[in-house]
Amino acid sequence: MLDQDSPINVALLAVPEVTASALFGMFDLFSSPGRDWPFIVKGEAGQQRMRPYVVARSHSGFRAANGIWVKPDFAFGDSPPPQIVCIPDFFINPGDSVAGLYEPEARWLRRTHEDGALLASACSGAVLLGEAGLLINCEATIHWGYVTTLSNNYPGVRVRLDRSLVLRGEAQRIVMAGGGSSWQDLALYLIARFVGLKEAMEVAKVYMLQWHDLGQQPFASLMSLRQTVDAVINSCQKWLALNYKTRAPVAAMVALSGLSERSFIRRFTKATGMTAAGLRTRASYRRSKADAGNNRPDDRGDRQRNRL
């Protein structure tokens, strides 16, 4: 987390094919930390902690894929140095190569990353990370409909559809979110990482957002001819969904499964792609969200508490 007196620069990279809902939705979410929660509960806006702005290869405005007008705040040559660069999804044909079409964007992404910025992509935005040469022989995630776009065009990419977020690189300065509305997960994660978990929870309450803890596997299975089904692990996952507040979830599921701890962890990892440590972290994370959700202001009445 950075100095509260210095708003965190968040550059939102826009190309003419950009999805406007993700671009402007991210702008709204990144504008919220520190500002909107005090306004909702006290009637007075607080200090804005992040400074989002739209960056493109030139200052010229353009119409996004759905026809809405986009006017960049900065071009690559005069953009303030960002701490975070977000790449919203954009429309491309699934499986197609975009080699050479976004070379100015790829150069700028490489340069900002070399200068220390964290790069974050949503959905098909991961393709631009590939164009920048930042996905070689690494794990990634993307919308389930664009898996072949990564696997066919960038060597060694291993797509993880079981994860809503994938972090990689030095100091985990590359973050990828999957498809659809997972850009919301990405924004909340970045707010928590750079501003604080408390502020991320407040933004989630203001915008009534839910983190997508289950990943994209339910959607990806529609595209797959082969499915791995482990009835024991499936039963344990269903139990966990209802009992995530349990303080020792792995031990509890080991007992429920009737397996040895070693066998359970091996089968759980094979079925879900999640390690035991990752499971403990996720359960703890969900507990913290639930606890934060219960700590609401009590001076505005039950009706307002229910709305927030």
3-state secondary structure the chain: CCCCCCCEEEEEECCCCECHHHHHHHHHHHHCCCCHHHHHHHCCCCCCCEEEEEEECCCCCEECCCCCEECCCEECCCCCCCCEEEECCECCCCCCCCCCCCHHHHHHHHHHHHCCCEEEEEHHHHHHHHHCCCCCCCEECCCHHHHHHHHCCCCCCEECCCCCEEEECHHHCEEEECCCCHHHHHHHHHHHHHCCHHHHHHHHHHHCCCCCCCCCHHHHHHHCCCCCCCHHHHHHHHHHHHCCCCCCHHHHHHHHHCCCHHHHHHHHHHHHCCCHHHHHHHHHHHHHHHHHHHCCCCCCHHHHHHHC
Query: What is the token pair recorded at 236?
Result: 């344990």
- What pLDDT is recorded for position 301? 40
CA atoms of 234 and 146, how far apart (whole Å): 27
Do 173 and 83 touch, CB atoms closer than 8 A?
no
Contacts of 273 (CB under 8 A, 6+ apart): 160, 162, 163
- What pLDDT is recorded for position 172? 87
- What pLDDT is recorded for position 142? 92
Other residues' Cβ atoms within 10 Å of the Cβ of residue 210: 11
CA atoms of 214 and 244, how far apart (whole Å): 13
CA atoms of 136 and 139, how far apart (whole Å): 9
Query: What is the token pair recorded at 285?
Result: 């994370």
- What pLDDT is recorded for position 237? 75
Cβ-in-10-Å burial (0-12, 13-18, 19+) of 221 comes to middle
CA atoms of 124 and 108, how far apart (whole Å): 18
pTM over 0.85: no
The whole-number mean pLDDT for each consecutive block of 10 residues of the chain, a chain of 308 residues, reads 73 95 96 95 93 97 92 96 96 88 96 96 95 92 90 89 84 87 90 90 90 52 44 79 69 88 84 64 55 46 37
CA atoms of 142 and 252, how far apart (whole Å): 33
Contacts of 145 (CB under 8 A, 6+ apart): 94, 179, 223
Other residues' Cβ atoms within 10 Å of the Cβ of residue 114: 8
- What pLDDT is recorded for position 20? 92
